Each structure stands twice: as structure tokens, then as C-alpha cells.
């Protein structure tokens, strides 16, 4: 079954306010993980176009070379259980340390414990390789954020109480 994403236009809210509301749906522990990871990637890719999807399964921040999701270098995806860094073309990346997970034809990922994970040399090498193999170069001017879609129905963003 394919889900349709519904784009909700809220011109009265800035992307920053919308994103703040998206992140506030999570447990405080997850909020404290998502926010610094996003900031670290924004600092790493200051000219990238950030595409945001608050969809059924995940809150996703794509760091892209154009405003098309297919041109994302990496995506940060958060759900109630953790945050994952997706390499959209990860299957073609050199991974000598075998840290990428997944076995599909295209996407690979790494589970993130925190911003320190992004600073590991093996992860930094993957980020550089993702930039090197992109079809379109990163823009030269400062990047910006586009909230692409907000799903009307979503899985819970907070883990169930134990």
C-alpha cells in the first residue's frame, strides 16, 4: 500500500517554527538528540537545500544539492526509537570500515548515538564521498529550508511507556 503525502501550506509559520513543532512531538531525550544532529549536518553542509518531511513514519531532514529529494546527499530520519543517517546513494559509496547498514540497491544507513558519531573519521569519509559522487554540485550560496510535506496521520513520535 502506497501512502499519499499531503502537503499542508502554512504561510503564516516560518519553517523554523514548523520544525520546532515537529521536533516538540518527540520525547525530550529524542529532542536533545535530533536538534544537535541537525545543526551538525547544517554546519557540515551550509549551502545544502534542506528538505523537511514530517511524514507517517519519520521526521526527515534531507540535505540536498537541489530542491529535489532525489538529489539529497544524506537524510536525517527520526522516529520514536532513534535517529538514522541515510546515504541516498550509499550502495555506491566506498565503505572500507563496513559501517553502512542495508542491502538494497541504493540506500545505506548508520544509526546515530549523537553528534560525535558524525565526527568519526569513517563517517566523515562517507560524507565526503557522498559529496564527491553527487550529480549536481552543492550550491555556492547559503542554503535554505523547505518544508515539503506534513502527513495528516503519523505514527507516535514518543516511545510507549514501559
Residues 6+ apart with CB under 8 A from 156: 80
Residues 6+ apart with CB under 8 A from 117: 85, 110, 123
Residue 1 lies in a domain: no
Residue 156 lies in a domain: no
Tally of domains in the chain: 1
Give the CATH number, domain containing residue 136. Answer: 3.90.1150
Q: What is the greatest pairwise CA distance in the chain? A: 48
pTM of the model: 0.88
By residue range, what is the domain housing residue 21? 15-150
Residue 122 lies in a domain: yes
Residue 3 lies in a domain: no
What are the tens digits of pLDDT across the range 25-55? 999 999 999 999 999 999 999 999 999 999 9
What are the tens digits of pLDDT across the range 17-31? 999 999 999 999 999
Amino acid at each position: 500500500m502506497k501512502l499519499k503525502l499531503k502537503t499542508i501550506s502554512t504561510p503564516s509559520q516560518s519553517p523554523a517554527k514548523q520544525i520546532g513543532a515537529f521536533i516538540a512531538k518527540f520525547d525530550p531525550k529524542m529532542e536533545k538528540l535530533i536538534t544537535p544532529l541537525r545543526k551538525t549536518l547544517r554546519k557540515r553542509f551550509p549551502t545544502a537545500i534542506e528538505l523537511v518531511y514530517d511524514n507517517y513514519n519519520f521526521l526527515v531532514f534531507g540535505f540536498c544539492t537541489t530542491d529535489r529529494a532525489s538529489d539529497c546527499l544524506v537524510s536525517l530520519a527520526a522516529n520514536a526509537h532513534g535517529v538514522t543517517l541515510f546515504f541516498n546513494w550509499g550502495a555506491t559509496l566506498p565503505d572500507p570500515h563496513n559501517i553502512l547498514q542495508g542491502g538494497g540497491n541504493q540506500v545505506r544507513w548508520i544509526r546515530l548515538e549523537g553528534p560525535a558519531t558524525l565526527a568519526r573519521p569513517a563517517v566523515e569519509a562517507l560524507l565526503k564521498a557522498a559529496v564527491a559522487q553527487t550529480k549536481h554540485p552543492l550550491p555556492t550560496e547559503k542554503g535554505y529550508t523547505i518544508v515539503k510535506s506534513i502527513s495528516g496521520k503519523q505514527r507516535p513520535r514518543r516511545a510507549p511507556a514501559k
